């Protein structure tokens, strides 16, 4: 252990990466650090599979010139998931090793050190955690349920599937920011502790704040809008969003990551829709082009159709959607909101008709949107607001915002909102505010739906819901 604290005495060894173990390295003596993925002793030999993230290689410790009987025994006793340093010769193999990512070579181990020893009983087995549902059932092979996974997230995150999911998620954030930065957007940081519940007070977490109390922001919207009023013109932010909603569904979390956009526009709020849809398209293309390995890795465990999108993005009006649903037998009024099952049905109808998994639904009924939504000037029953959908589920809600203090006051009164509580919000628009709009995207939902997964907890590293606060 002391060796891990200060290795001044150690040589400046190069550690080879498992993915670089190819026949070109044959007969070289190398050092490697990896986890013991599996271990199997067999007479005077011990076969190990050594793993680094999604890559693994077979290693052989055999009694002979370089290894003693004691060493083979020592190797055989190393617990699974322990981290080891090995010195070994790379050897080409006659027959491909089908069970490893490095199929053409194996390692002949000369020295082996345990860097960190895992406890002998693992709370879950990695091979069970990556098994597709139903596979191997007749042999009595287990899969791992979600609570066991989440309770032991440190181990569950080591699977090839988890590694792929969260590397892709990192990619979504990067693509989002890079696209917007190229479009001239400025990144902002907005406070999460706020003094008043911006959206009326429902579903908000309360925080003790010294001698008073405060709230956790349900969205950065007020602050994004203040930045627009402060001449930043186009802004984005990436950060946690909190919803004290007692919803125990496959797609609700009490804390999630919001990818938020807000921008001033010149003449029409469709300029905002175009900016957002183009950003989404750049994300989809970036994932398709740069994360194919990750997508395929996830698909092995959770098969799904490739994600389809159009350019330009399909934009439907709410009235068109209602007509499509009615044609499919749904009974609903013009100004009724979409239920979750109807959203999903609509997604299927849109997919059939237009062959896309991504589209915008524009011009929602004014009555079902928040008070700060700009009414449609040509039809006061509707509004300049929109949702965006992936595989039939909502990933973004957005709108042109009312930027005039007087109209905003009128709308708040209409919604019976206490004006005193939103005074600071309304005052932000008193000193000149450009027309503007935006929206908030849920990162975990985008990842879930892009990959065709079925639970948002699969794309949140450490999910929070009404029943889960750990780890």
Is 370 one of the binding residues for a copy of itself (CB under 8 A)?
no
With CB under 8 A as the contact rule, which of the stretches 242-250, 321-329, 331-339, 340-348 interacts with a copy of itself? 242-250
| Residue 95 or 208 having the CB closest to a copy of itself | 208
Reduced to 3 states, what is the DSSP secondary structure of residue 438? strand
- Helices 160-182 & 270-290, crossing angle to 10 degrees? 140
| Residue 102 or 169 having the CB closest to a copy of itself | 169
Is 122 one of the binding residues for a copy of itself (CB under 8 A)?
yes
Is 403 one of the binding residues for a copy of itself (CB under 8 A)?
yes
Is 146 one of the binding residues for a copy of itself (CB under 8 A)?
no
Name the residue among 51, 59, 164, 156 with its Cα closest to residue 111: 59
Question: How are beta strands 55-62 and 45-52 bridged, if at all?
Answer: antiparallel
Residue in 45, 110, 203, 232 binding a copy of itself, rule: CB under 8 A? 232
Instruction: Decide: 307 and 357 in contact? Cβ < 8 Å.
Output: yes
Name the active-site residue from 243, 369, 403, 411: 243
229 phi and psi, to 5 degrees?
-65, -20
| Residue 46 or 229 having the CB closest to a copy of itself | 229
Residue in 62, 109, 227, 345 binding a copy of itself, rule: CB under 8 A? 227
| Residue 58 or 162 having the CB closest to a copy of itself | 162
Is 98 marked active-site? no
Name the residue among 462, 156, 443, 453 with its Cα closest to residue 298: 453
Is 380 one of the binding residues for a copy of itself (CB under 8 A)?
no
- Nearest-approach distance from CB 250 to a copy of itself, in angstroms: 19
Is 304 marked active-site? no
Is 218 one of the binding residues for a copy of itself (CB under 8 A)?
no
| Residue 162 or 458 having the CB closest to a copy of itself | 162
For residue 48, count CB atoms less than 10 angstroms from its CB and return exposed for 0-12, middle for 13-18, buried for 19 or more: buried
In sequence order, the 6+-apart residues with CB closer than 8 A to the CB of 400 are 265, 269, 272, 373, 374, 384, 385, 435, 436, 437
- Helices 292-301 & 160-182, crossing angle to 10 degrees? 140
In this structure, the number of other CB atoms found within 10 A of the CB of residue 42 comes to 10
Q: Which of residues 42-71 bind a copy of itself (CB under 8 A)?
A: 52-53
Name the active-site residue from 252, 270, 315, 464: 252
Residue in 115, 142, 281, 324 binding a copy of itself, rule: CB under 8 A? 115
Is 369 marked active-site? no
Name the active-site residue from 131, 401, 445, 457: 445
Is 315 marked active-site? no
Is 246 one of the binding residues for a copy of itself (CB under 8 A)?
yes
| Residue 90 or 164 having the CB closest to a copy of itself | 164
With CB under 8 A as the contact rule, which of the stretches 96-104, 171-179, 287-295, 309-317 interacts with a copy of itself? 171-179
Instruction: Decide: 158 and 126 in contact? Cβ < 8 Å.
Output: yes
Rounded Cα–Cα distance for residues 151 and 17 (Å): 30
Is 403 marked active-site? no
Is 205 one of the binding residues for a copy of itself (CB under 8 A)?
yes
| Residue 233 or 336 having the CB closest to a copy of itself | 233
Rounded Cα–Cα distance for residues 202 and 198 (Å): 10
List, in sequence order, every residue forming a beta bridge with 259; answer none if it has no partner. 238, 441
- Nearest-approach distance from CB 404 to a copy of itself, in angstroms: 6
With CB under 8 A as the contact rule, which of the stretches 86-94, 134-142, 263-271, 319-327 interacts with a copy of itself? 263-271
With CB under 8 A as the contact rule, which of the stretches 174-182, 283-291, 293-301, 319-327 interacts with a copy of itself? 174-182
Reduced to 3 states, what is the DSSP secondary structure of residue 470? coil
Is 252 marked active-site? yes
- In angstroms, the Cα distances linking 132 to 54, 123, 135, 299 are 17, 19, 6, 9
Is 432 one of the binding residues for a copy of itself (CB under 8 A)?
yes
* DSSP single-letter state for residue 420: G
With CB under 8 A as the contact rule, which of the stretches 140-148, 328-336, 351-359, 459-467 interacts with a copy of itself? 459-467
* Strand blocks (E) in 293-427: 314-317, 358-362, 385-390, 393-400
- Nearest-approach distance from CB 344 to a copy of itself, in angstroms: 27
| Residue 138 or 210 having the CB closest to a copy of itself | 210
Is 238 one of the binding residues for a copy of itself (CB under 8 A)?
yes
For residue 252, count CB atoms less than 10 angstroms from its CB and return exposed for 0-12, middle for 13-18, buried for 19 or more: middle
In this structure, the number of other CB atoms found within 10 A of the CB of residue 469 comes to 11
| Residue 66 or 167 having the CB closest to a copy of itself | 167
Can you read off the two tokens belonging to residue 157?
């995150």
Instruction: Decide: 305 and 452 in contact? Cβ < 8 Å.
Output: yes
Is 193 one of the binding residues for a copy of itself (CB under 8 A)?
yes
Q: Which of residues 290-329 bind a copy of itself (CB under 8 A)?
A: none
Residue in 24, 119, 135, 334 binding a copy of itself, rule: CB under 8 A? 119
291 phi and psi, to 5 degrees?
-130, 30
Report cis status (omega within 30 of 0) of the bond before 457: no
Is 108 marked active-site? no
In sequence order, the 6+-apart residues with CB closer than 8 A to the CB of 205 are 215, 216, 242, 244, 254
What residues act catalytically? 243, 245, 251-252, 394, 397, 445
């Amino acid at each position: 252990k002391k060796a891990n604290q200060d290795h001044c005495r150690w040589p400046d060894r190069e550690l080879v990466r498992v993915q670089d173990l190819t026949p070109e390295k044959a007969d070289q003596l190398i050092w490697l650090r990896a986890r013991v993925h599996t271990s199997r002793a067999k007479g005077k030999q011990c076969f190990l599979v050594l793993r680094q993230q999604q890559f693994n290689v077979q290693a052989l410790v055999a009694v002979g010139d370089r290894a003693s009987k004691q060493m083979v025994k020592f190797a055989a006793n190393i617990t699974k998931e322990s981290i080891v340093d090995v010195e070994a010769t790379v050897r080409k193999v006659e027959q491909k090793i089908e069970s490893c990512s490095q199929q053409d070579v194996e390692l002949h181990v000369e020295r082996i050190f345990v860097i960190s020893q895992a406890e002998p009983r693992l709370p879950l087995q990695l091979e069970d955690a990556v098994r597709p549902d139903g596979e191997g059932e007749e042999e009595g092979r287990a899969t791992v349920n979600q609570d066991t996974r989440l309770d032991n997230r440190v181990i569950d995150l080591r699977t090839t599937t988890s590694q792929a999911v969260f590397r892709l998620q990192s990619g979504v954030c990067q693509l989002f920011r890079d696209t917007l930065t190229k479009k001239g957007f400025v990144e902002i940081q907005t406070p999460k502790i706020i003094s008043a519940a911006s959206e009326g007070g429902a579903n908000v977490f309360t925080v003790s704040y010294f001698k008073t109390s405060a709230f956790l922001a349900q969205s950065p919207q007020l602050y994004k809008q203040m930045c627009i009023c402060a001449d930043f013109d186009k802004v984005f932010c990436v950060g946690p969003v909190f919803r004290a909603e007692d919803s125990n569904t496959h797609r609700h979390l009490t804390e999630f990551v919001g990818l938020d956009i807000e921008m001033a526009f010149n003449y029409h709020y469709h300029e905002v829709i175009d900016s957002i849809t183009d950003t989404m398209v750049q994300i989809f293309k970036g994932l398709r082009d740069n994360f194919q390995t990750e997508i395929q890795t996830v698909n092995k465990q959770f098969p799904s159709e490739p994600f389809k999108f159009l350019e330009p993005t399909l934009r439907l009006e709410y009235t068109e959607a209602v007509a499509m649903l009615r044609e499919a037998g749904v009974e609903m009024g013009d100004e009724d909101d979409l239920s979750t099952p109807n959203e999903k049905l609509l997604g299927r109808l849109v997919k059939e008709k237009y062959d896309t998994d991504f589209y915008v639904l524009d011009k929602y009924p004014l009555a079902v949107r928040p008070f700060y939504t700009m009414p449609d000037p040509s039809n006061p029953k509707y509004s300049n607001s929109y949702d965006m959908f992936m595989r039939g589920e909502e990933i973004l809600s957005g709108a042109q915002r009312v930027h005039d203090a007087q109209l905003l006051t009128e709308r708040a009164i209409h919604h019976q909102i206490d004006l005193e509580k939103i005074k600071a919000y309304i005052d932000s628009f008193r000193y000149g505010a450009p027309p503007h709009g935006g929206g908030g995207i849920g990162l975990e939902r985008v990842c879930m739906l892009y990959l065709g997964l079925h639970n948002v907890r699969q794309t949140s590293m450490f999910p929070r819901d009404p029943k889960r606060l750990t780890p």
